[in-house]
Amino acid sequence: MEEKIVIITGAASGIGKGIARKFLGENWRAVCFDISKKSLEKTAYDFNEDGFKNFEIFEGDCGTLASWQNLKQILGGGSEKIGAVINNAGIGINKPVQDLSLEEWNRVMATNVASVFLSAKVFGDILKKNGAPMVNIASTRALMSEANTEAYSASKGAIVSLTHALAMSLAPARVNCISPGWIDNGSNSPLTQEDHLQHPAGRAGVPSDIAELAFFLADNSKSGFITGQNFYCDGGMTKKMIYV
């Protein structure tokens, strides 16, 4: 079987790392794109320990054109083997809107939204040529919010809109997005039973929940008639009516 390459942003931790692990397990070559050198090194160590060898780490800022161009240059002829791009990188700066600086707002938008645009700008022609899907990771925050999340929520709403726009522009390459809910990636304190049972599905999510859906959407043989869509993967929370 011909080797296929997947580029995954924010792949050094959390959901992105889970997605990279899924693709590696399915015999893809994974390019793990992240801004944190330390986290990338830890991810490389973990993947090697798990017996995965077919990956590369790339340190860069996905919110800048220079990093995307540098990645394309490093891949060289390998760019022609790109089979999917997963735009997962995301940050949040949660502050009262009066305290949130324009620089902080722009930083969130660059990492979360401009990165998706830049991936299409640099690799879009290859995606179209190969019929290679793009999967963007948005959030249920595109639909519902807590206080002081203006930058993050706005960025995730933009990803949903950018997804269906790119689905038209990059056709026949398919472009879809996933909106995760509460995903426990182990970076915070252990969840309580109450945390889990408030979900209609009976538990909070884990990175593999998103990874499985991302892989499905990247597989033309299984999801080839799906494009421009946003999939909520949240244990049912966006459908749950809550009264106090």
Distance CA 36, CA 44 (A): 12
| Residue 152 is a catalytic residue | yes
Sorted by sequence, the CB contacts under 8 Å of residue 22 that are 6+ apart come out as 208, 211, 212, 214, 215
Cβ pair 30, 11 in contact under 8 A: yes
How far, CA to CA in Å, does 133 sit from each of 62, 85, 145, 209? 18, 7, 29, 19
Sorted by sequence, the CB contacts under 8 Å of residue 47 that are 6+ apart come out as 20, 21, 24, 55
The burial of 76, by beta-carbon neighbours within 10 Å (0-12 exposed, 13-18 middle, 19 or more buried), is given as exposed
Backbone angles phi, psi at 55, to 5 degrees: -145, 160
Q: Shortest CA distance to 117 belongs to which of 85, 94, 144, 92?
A: 85
- Residue tagged active-site, from 45, 152, 232, 243: 152
End-to-end CA separation in angstroms for the chain: 55
- The residues annotated with a catalytic role in the active site are 152
